[in-house]
Amino acid sequence: MKANFSELIHGDVPVLIDFHAEWCGPCKMQSPIIKEIAQSMKDKLRVIKIDVDKNPSLSRKYKIRGVPTLALFKDGELKWMQAGMKSKQQILKVIDQFGGA
């Protein structure tokens, strides 16, 4: 997964990562918002969901302490990361601010 992950975040398009877990209630509430953003911005943004339980090394690398945690990468570089539920407006503001979308 690590080599793949590196390739995924190194595109020209900003990448929004949703670190989540199956057992996480807030993650389930965050999911439809993430899907909506992915659909509405499919040409300008790549959205990837990563299950922290299935990818422990990635979770450690990015020091994921709580889920959901959203992270925004641009050109392979981590631009923003924050744990907790986010509204669609909050996420879009971050993408606009850091993603240059």
15-20 β-sheet, strand order: 46-51, 15-20, 69-74, 77-83
Q: Hey, which residues are catalytic here?
A: 24, 27
Displacement of CA 99 from its chain's centroid (Å): 12
The two structure tokens encoding residue 38: 């992915």
Q: Is the peptide bond before 32 cis (omega within 30 degrees of 0)?
A: no
